[in-house]
Structure 1
Amino acid sequence: MYKIYGIILTLFFTITLEAQNSEKAKALLDQVSSRVKSYENIAVDFRYSLSNPKQNLNQESKGTVVQKGNMYVLDFMGITRIFDGKRVYNIVPEDEEISISKYNDQKDDNLTPSKIFTFFNSGYKYSWDILQNVKGRKIQYIKLTPTNAKDNTKEVLMGVDVQTKHIYNLIQTEKDGTKMTITINSFKTNQPLSKNHFTFTESKYPNYYINRLD
């Protein structure tokens, strides 16, 4: 009988601790979202890597993104992507080609710049993970596990700077072993931007082929 009581108590405390950790993790992520929303705009330099040993996949690149609300200008892997809130413009200088398409939030499941600070608000279970010291910065990791069993993502580890409440890095692991890591090298806020910063100006690309997808 005492053994049964011990098992019940252990289960009770384990469930209680997990619930507390989940609440603590969600509270930290809420602070991240709130802090980002408080800025007029943000400018980020980042490092990106994609790897999968089984597929002999190993890619690394750097990029920059300027974001205001859900609008952004992303420079990454030789391509500039502009999102003005309604349409997406992909500009490829190497091919002198531009594709223009309407943005559909319901169909676009990619982790876009406008989603990276908010994607974790729903669809995940949260747990408190390790705390690391990175060059004097305390980085607290939160583990996110998709609630949808059909999701291709196994888990996401999000590192949050404890002091600034800014995202330091994001490590997304797929079920097939593919790992994507985004590390933020520079995070600037409230930068002076022109009123046309997120506007695509067709006249700047006179010799480009423009592919209007819809």
Structure 2
Amino acid sequence: MKNILVLFAIILSSFTATAQSDAKAKALLDEVYNKVKGYDNIFIEFKYALDNSAENIHQETKGDVTIQGDKYVFNYLGATKIFDGSKTYTVIPENEEVVIESNEDNAEEGTITPSKMLTFYKKGYNYKWDVLQNVKGRNIQYVELTPIDSNSEIKQILLGIDAQTKHIYNLIEVGANGTKTTITVNSFKTNEPISKSLFTFNKAKYEDLGYYIIKN
């Protein structure tokens, strides 16, 4: 789940320049941020692919996320994660359980959630201008991000930005262990009509279904 949420952290992140960072890359990232922060809400459908040739692993799946301010609803691998601005509710139908966490700050260290979007790039990464590629008629400009921490589990992140729309096209993360994670945005919608109750957890509904309610 952490790798998936990295994408959405990047989409709405603000960026702080360092002496080692590329000013041209920063300007593009700031342009993406300034455009996206003006939306009332965002809905993203994505494809997630994980590859490790040494281990002969290839996995693909799809998911979606709706984001409004700090709040979000995230659907992935059959589970739903809801953050209402105060608590996180993870609904797992396979186990017939709901896990409630009172504070996202208690999440696993290094986990990047949509609620941390505006601070994700305040520290920890250098970035530079990378290649421009034509992908199905779209000009995708890549920015390379490398962790400042030499012991990071992440070796490199390539962020692909549509040069015309200034929206994120994809994210390629290469791990120190050689695993490559690719997240591609299939659909990016903004300012959609959404229910006022979308980010509200209905406890009675799941109690009636016989779900276990677990509070951490």
TM interval, shorter chain, is: 0.7 to 0.9
Kindly state the Cα deviation for residue 87 of structure 1 after the two structures are TM-superposed. 1.4
Other-structure match for 1:147: 148
Kindly state the Cα deviation for residue 56 of structure 1 after the two structures are TM-superposed. 3.1
Contact 1:25–1:128 (8 Å) recurs in 2: yes
CA separation of 1:185 and 1:117: change in aligned 2, threshold 3 A: farther
Other-structure match for 1:53: 53
* CA distance in 2 between partners of 1:87 and 1:118 (Å): 19
* CA distance in 2 between partners of 1:63 and 1:103 (Å): 24
Kindly state the Cα deviation for residue 113 of structure 1 after the two structures are TM-superposed. 3.7
Q: Alpha-carbon deviations, 1:100-148, whole Å to 9, x = none?
A: 1123337542243445686344321111111011111110000001111
* CA distance in 2 between partners of 1:21 and 1:154 (Å): 16
* CA distance in 1 between partners of 2:39 and 2:139 (Å): 22
TM-score (norm. length: structure 2): 0.84
Other-structure match for 1:184: 185
Mapped pair 1:211 → 2:214? yes
* CA distance in 2 between partners of 1:171 and 1:31 (Å): 20
Contact 2:43–2:65 (8 Å) recurs in 1: yes
Identity %: 52
What are the ranges of 5 or more consecutive residues in structure 2 without an aligned counterpart? 1-18
Other-structure match for 1:156: 157
Kindly state the Cα deviation for residue 211 of structure 1 after the two structures are TM-superposed. 0.9
TM-score (norm. length: structure 1): 0.84
Equivalenced residue count is: 195
* SS at 2:104 equivalent: coil
Contact 1:144–1:156 (8 Å) recurs in 2: yes
Other-structure match for 1:24: 24
CA separation of 1:168 and 1:116: change in aligned 2, threshold 3 A: farther
Other-structure match for 1:64: 64
Greater CA deviation, 78-87 or 118-127? 118-127
What are the ranges of 5 or more consecutive residues in structure 1 without an aligned counterpart? 1-18
* CA distance in 2 between partners of 1:106 and 1:128 (Å): 34
Greater CA deviation, 101-110 or 144-153? 101-110
Other-structure match for 2:14: none
* SS at 1:94 equivalent: helix
* CA distance in 1 between partners of 2:195 and 2:167 (Å): 25
* CA distance in 2 between partners of 1:68 and 1:104 (Å): 16
Contact 1:33–1:117 (8 Å) recurs in 2: no
Contact 1:72–1:83 (8 Å) recurs in 2: yes
* CA distance in 1 between partners of 2:49 and 2:85 (Å): 27
Other-structure match for 2:105: 105
